Structure 1
Amino acid sequence: MTRTAQRAGDRPEPPEPLPHPVVDNHCHLDIGAHDGPGEPVPVLDALARSAAVGVPRIVQIGCDLPGARWAVETAREHPAIVAGVALHPNEAPRLDADGRLDAAWAEIAELATDPRVRAVGETGLDNFRTGADGREAQVRSFRRHIELAHELDKTLVIHDRDAHAEVLEVLDEVGPPPRWVMHCFSGDAAFAERCLERGAHLSFAGTVTFKNAEPLREALRVTPLDRILVETDAPFLTPEPWRGRPNASYLIPTTVRAMATTRGTDLLELCRAIEANTDRAFGGAWGA
């Protein structure tokens, strides 16, 4: 059985629709498209399912060259989708070891000029899957992506895994661009405030629903309403009660409802804020 067939068979039932549309600002519809067996999630199917519950728009993130190409092509074909392109922090050391990092980065820089690309990302640092031997390549790649976001006036989307202090150190050295997003925010309230001071939008994923995520919920509580975004990181980070099963944009309402409860914010007010915040963070509205 292919990975795609397993995902389709495990698909949770759709949640109740949201009272106002929001945007999934970080999704990987292409998982399986270029890495072994399987096919990408059918885009029209994914869009129909998510739109039916109040998630009509998606930011498709490409994390390597095949994924970045796919993201741009898909965004060109579907008005409800815009793209982000970059070399993932764990991709940079692998390419550097083969002597291919500079060439790969040059292609990312060219892809990023496409008008359907709204973001440079996800880039950043990852101390979980990459050890000290890959750190220099990660930092070098991260710096170049920050510079590209400045050069093209694109939104910077940051991946940060077990690297809070290092991410801000590099960001401070280069200077944050006018629009930047902490993808799948994973810090506590104190780290949230450090990011917010630098102008970040904080994007919360299904992890905010996990039982062991109280520090993350505290971070959500201290985040101003006009800096909050929501994402899936699909097919990963599925919210409770479906944790461990494949994620998709149509499950965003479960995460948004949990966020509203955590903050004590009216659901409609939160949805309206998320939609406006996403448009502002990614350089304006898009769609059919």
Structure 2
Amino acid sequence: MSEHLRRRSDGGRAAEYPPAPEPLPVPVYDNHTHLEIADGALPLSPAEHLERAAAVGIAGAVQVGTDVATSRWSAEIAAREPRLLAAVALHPNEAPELDAAGELDAAIAVIDELAAQPRVRAIGETGLDYFRTGEEGRDAQHRAFEAHLDIAKRHGIALQIHDRDAHDDVVATLRRVGAPERTVFHCFSGGEELARTAADAGWYCSFAGNVTFKNAENLREALRVLPRELLLVETDAPYLTPAPLRGRPNAPYLVPLTVRFMAELLEVPLDGLCAQLAENTERVYGSWQEGLA
């Protein structure tokens, strides 16, 4: 399998990667990234991504699968790369297509097998997406989401949730089926209400570069009310590049831009927030040094 499985397919620009930001005073982790997606005019290899990240104080990342192929790749690279852990799952937008082809159950079984590997520390990204999938695909999304919840709980690993325009149904499913002990709202997209619901349940909320966007006051309101011990940071690279670099490719080495923005918004010392984010991330996923091949 090649180092990069696929090109970015959402019309992303073939722009150059931005210059590196100032390093963070305390290392943190990128809680969610997609290094399998080649982006930019000169795509970076996973090794190049990780070298740039280490140079600015990013200790490691969670490499996230969205289908069978990328989940296998994520598990394989994490098994040999000490700076990566893996999350494996079927993205909710994949579920209806797999179901229509009669392949959903078999694909879920592959995710279950991958979840047993020691460097696979999360099931994700899974959840519900009502933005790209209409009513006809929701049943498959719900069945896949519940199956992923079961896998995470049986294997005792974290859950990374993709929640787009589906807050109420995601929360209702977590409450009805039972959330894993460590549940993360990846690329948190709600507002203060969802943040308070997550805080009451002890669910983690991970913020990406879009918290810096001018039109994202709902995210900033959520960030302000969340307990510090439930905060995580991510890139969702190559997407959601922080302001003022929108339109350029995103990558783990740009995490410091989001962390500095968060510290300024919360009016807390940067080094203290970095330490808290690192502690929270290790609490969710465990040690980056364990389980290497």
Q: TM-score, normalised by structure 1?
A: 0.94
Q: What does residue 269 of structure 2 align with? A: 266
Q: What does residue 17 of structure 1 align with? A: 23
CA distance in 1, matches of 2:15, 2:67: 27
Secondary structure of 2:37's partner?
coil
Whether 2:173 is the aligned partner of 1:162: answer no
2:113 aligned to which of 110, 125, 131? 110
Secondary structure of 1:136's partner?
helix
Give matches, 1:219-258, under 5 Å: 219-258=222-261
Structure 1 gaps, min length 5: none
Whether 2:288 is the aligned partner of 1:286: answer yes
How many Å apart are 1:40 and its aligned residue? 7.5
How many Å apart are 1:107 and its aligned residue? 0.6
- Change beyond 3 A, Cα 1:3–1:117: closer
CA distance in 2, matches of 1:77, 1:84: 15
How many Å apart are 1:41 and its aligned residue? 3.9
How many Å apart are 1:199 and its aligned residue? 1.5
2:137 aligned to which of 134, 139, 147? 134
Secondary structure of 2:31's partner?
strand
Runs of 4+ in 1 over 2 A off after TM superposition: 6-9, 38-41
CA distance in 2, matches of 1:287, 1:248: 22
Q: What does residue 42 of structure 1 align with? A: 45
Q: Identical aligned pairs, as a percentage?
A: 54
Q: TM-score, normalised by structure 2?
A: 0.92
1:75 and 1:83 in contact (8 A); partners too: yes
CA distance in 1, matches of 2:163, 2:271: 30
AA partner of residue 138 (structure 1)? Q
AA partner of residue 275 (structure 2)? R
How many Å apart are 1:21 and its aligned residue? 0.3
CA distance in 2, matches of 1:251, 1:287: 23
How many Å apart are 1:3 and its aligned residue? 5.1
How many Å apart are 1:287 and its aligned residue? 3.5
CA distance in 2, matches of 1:267, 1:47: 22
- Change beyond 3 A, Cα 1:223–1:73: same
Q: Spell out, residue by residue over 1:61-104, the C-alpha distance to the aligned partner (whole angstroms, 9 max, x if none).
A: 00001100110111012011000000000000110011000001
1:179 aligned to which of 182, 186, 192? 182
AA partner of residue 22 (structure 1)? V
Whether 2:33 is the aligned partner of 1:53: answer no
Secondary structure of 1:49's partner?
helix
